[in-house]
Amino acid sequence: MSQLEQLKQYTTIVADTGDFQSIKAFAPQDATTNPSLILKAVQKDEYRPIMERVAREHAGKSTDEIIDRLLIAFGQEILKVIPGRVSTETDARLSFDTEGTIAKGRELIRLYEEAGIARDRVLIKIASTWEGIRAAQVLEAEGIHCNLTLLFSLPQAVACAEAGVQLISPFVGRIYDWYKKSTGTDYTGADDPGVQSVKRIYTYYRKFGYKTEVMGASFRNTSQIVELAGCDLLTISPELLQKLAETDASLERKLSPEAAQQVQIDRLKLDEKTFRLMLNDDAMATEKLAEGIRAFCADAVKLEKLIEELH
């Protein structure tokens, strides 16, 4: 069996792309998108017609409304080729706006349901700021399930679990990037700080019985993926899915609920002040969260410009 086939025995595989043609090739359970992936997709010849069609069908509507419709159009196409859920991201410019994020989450679900897609097949993707986590708590109470992204630290993960969030996406590769740049060390295997961060979060969740799913994200190499075999879900780019499919080296389970129960770990007590202080105390998490929001905001603006050119 390939490493991809072996990995599927322990972990739900999620395609990290807006390219639904490549999704078909790897038969993942779920798929995740973000502003950067959608922007990348609509600039390809095979996907640009979707953007043009959506802009044409909703001419006269605001750019913001057209982008929402574009996200749903991509989500619909992705759901045709996967059996599970698609993650659709809220505007990153709402990352510090709880009410705005709630409104956007409700609107995206309304549009999916209007298109005949059940809400249990959609995860609303929100940045793991304090405001984003509070918005997710409200949405979850309404049966709108959320994927909390740009997650780099245990306090963010714990706050998400206590808010009853469906799923979190800790960013392995971006943590690795920061430590590699900071220390000059090219980490591999179990020594990778990104891998260690996800293991810590997974262990905490399983130790204390949280239901929130852990989905490792943002991988730089297959070594990071192999080290997290057994994590609830892993969202992987088509390029790395291809490498796993082409490799037949043995792969063993590294994470399990049983192993997590054996670990001694202190429970965090979090309120808003403690959350903000702990996040601020973690230079990597603070910098990568801010950088990620900036990048997604910039890509949202680029996507708006592409839409406005079609008006």
Can you tell me the distance from the alpha carbon of 34 to that of 119, in angstroms, rounded to the nearest whole number?
18
CA 120 to chain centre: 16
Q: Catalytic: 61?
A: no
Long-range contacts of 75-79 (CB under 8 A, 24+ apart): 75/33, 75/112, 75/117, 75/122, 76/112, 76/115, 76/117, 77/20, 77/50, 78/18, 78/20, 78/23, 78/31, 78/33, 79/117, 79/121
Task: Name the nearest CA neighbour of 169 among 193, 153, 192.
Answer: 153
What is the three-class DSSP state of 125?
Answer: strand
Phi-psi map region of 29: left, alpha, beta (phi>0 left; psi -120 to 50 alpha): alpha
Catalytic residue (choose from 125, 199, 254, 288) = 125
Residue 81: which residues within 8 A CB-CB, separation 6 or more? 20, 23, 24
Q: Give the residue numbers marked as catalytic.
A: 125
